[in-house]
Amino acid sequence: MAFDLIIDGVRRQTAAHTDVKNPSTGAVAGRMPMATTQDLDDAIAAAARAFKTWSQTSDAERQAACHAIAAKIEAHAEELARLITAEQGKQLNGLGSRFEVGGTAAWTHATADMQLPVSVLQDNEQGRIELHRKPIGVIGSITPWNWPMLIGSWHIIPAVRTGNTVVIKPSPYTPLSTIRMVELMNEVLPPGVVNVVSGDDALGAALSSHPGIAKMVFTGSTATGRKIMASAAPTLKRITLELGGNDAGVVLPDADPKAIAPDLFWGAFINGGQTCAALKRLYVHDSIYEQVCNELVAFASTVPMGDGLDENNQLGPIQNAMQFKRVVELVEEAKQAGGRILCGGAPLAGNGYFYPITFVADVQEGIRLVDEEQFGPALPIIRYTDVEDAMRRANDNPMGLGGSVWSSDAAKAKVLAQRLECGTAWVNKHGGIQPNAPFGGVKQSGIGVEFSEEGLKEYTTVQTVYC
Ligand code: NAD
């Protein structure tokens, strides 16, 4: 299948392309069109033209369009899932690419159904005051490589639902499913409402600093998030930043190791740990430490990893060479620091960026595997003896995306979970998100939220009308 830019509702071929490779095999999944700065200018100009009419459409019209997009995605679900697996590597089944496509459609329907009605702040003899929400303009979107289609839809759909137009630049590692998704959206939407340009990081910098962009929505690393924020300053662009995390989980002494092991495992290793709000540091009380370690290792042995296109697999490879190298390095450093490898601990032989599920016990803060986001299939398990000490250490990190507390006493765990310095706190689970609940980071994990009416509001400006 050929992939082209989509600008103003039509495919645009580029002179240059870059191969996108399947991380399971190294085979070419497709060729990414390399947009020029002229293509970028044209896409933003098309979105600006489309904004004039799209922003004036009725709420019902935009709602219907979003439902129609979801229906298109559903009709092409298997094609899209296979494309995601081919470029991203994740397996088709379990929490893999079919789950990603299903989530995209479900989220799109849910967002379509949300409303931001005019609210009346005052209506009396002194006068009437209404609060209106208006679209902002052309939204620039930049996405990462871990959940390419789902995250792309999280940027596009609320923007379009509220009357904005979009230029999206997907990650150069995983551009193909986004291009195809935007192509399908263009079967439903008027020309120019959603445009896609693909290319390298420099194209992202050109998009985020472009004066024609009214708001940037970015999901990716904290390092890039800082650059986006800086590039927004000259024209005072609005921003939503969904950045990295280093989520802590605190297992209390009264937790049941066997019962919590599967949820701990998937909390940490959904998408092979390449998930922003995955569990990335596990604090376990000394009294049940070895039991929790043993249960996690036992559960890990039941989860097959391999080529994403193999229907039996429940985990795939690390997505790219850079990330693979990072995981290898962080685990080696942890070993040097005295970390005990409970399972895994070295790359798997053969083609592909396969690194096995790895638990590293007997480590603590001061090494990168604990202090930084690993974004891969290696989890440090940290021993503690005092709950207050564990809470302090869990919070002693610049990131603040998610966190969890695990206990047989859910009420006690909830009190502690609320003390975690993070945007989402879970009790006896980790990482689950829903379209009707806001999601976003505190501290250096981001600015703003996505999902729910709170997320929708981020694509609007307030107009107060005295009438
Ligand atoms: P990344 O920051 O390297 O790249 C993300 C995107 O930014 C890519 O499209 C890239 O081309 C672009 N980019 C790179 N340099 C740029 C620049 N100077 N200006 C503008 N754009 C630029 O991140 P990644 O490696 O693709 O993704 C992994 C990171 O994303 C992890 O830190 C993860 O936690 C984070 N993430 C966060 C969330 C969330 O919701 N908080 C979700 C998924 C991933």
95-153: pLDDT as tens digits: 999 999 999 999 999 999 999 999 999 999 999 999 999 999 999 999 999 999 999 99
Ligand 1, atom 16, residue with closest C-alpha: 201
Q: Is the CB of 375 under 6 A from ligand 1?
A: yes
Q: Are strands 358-361 and 340-343 parallel, antiparallel or unpaired?
A: antiparallel
Paired residues of 129 in beta bridges: 122, 466
Ligand 1, atom 23, residue with closest C-alpha: 220
Ligand 1: atom nearest CA of 231 is 19
Residue range 64-93: average pLDDT?
98
Condensed to tens digits (0 to 9), the pLDDT of residues 206-253 reads 999 999 999 999 999 999 999 999 999 999 999 999 999 999 999 999
Q: Are strands 119-124 and 127-135 parallel, antiparallel or unpaired?
A: antiparallel
How does residue 335 score in pLDDT terms, banded at 50, 70 and 90? very high
Q: Are strands 402-406 and 28-33 parallel, antiparallel or unpaired?
A: unpaired
213 near 138, Cβ under 8 Å? Answer: yes
Ligand 1: atom nearest CA of 441 is 41
Ligand 1, atom 9, residue with closest C-alpha: 171
Q: How far apart are alpha carbons 133 and 464 in whole angstroms?
A: 9
Q: Dihedrals φ, ψ of 286, to 5°?
A: -50, -35
Domain extents for the chain? 5-243+445-466, 247-427
Q: Is the CB of 174 under 6 A from ligand 1?
A: no
Distance from Cα 45 to the centre of ligand 1, integer Å: 25
Paired residues of 453 in beta bridges: none
Q: What is the CATH number of domain 5-243+445-466?
A: 3.40.605.10
- Cβ atoms within 10 Å of 421's Cβ, excluding its own: 18
247-427: CATH class: alpha beta
Q: How far is CA 256 from the centre of its chain?
A: 30
Q: Dihedrals φ, ψ of 94, to 5°?
A: 55, -135
Condensed to tens digits (0 to 9), the pLDDT of residues 344-397 reads 999 999 889 999 999 999 999 999 999 999 999 999 999 999 999 999 999 999
Ligand 1, atom 15, residue with closest C-alpha: 201
Ligand 1: atom nearest CA of 207 is 20
| pTM score of the predicted model | 0.98
Closest to 338 in 3D by CA, of 356, 320, 363: 363
Q: Is the pLDDT of residue 1 over 80?
A: no
Measured at the CA of 41, the angle between CA 39 and CA 43, to 5 degrees, comes to 70
> Which active-site residues does the annotation give?
242, 276
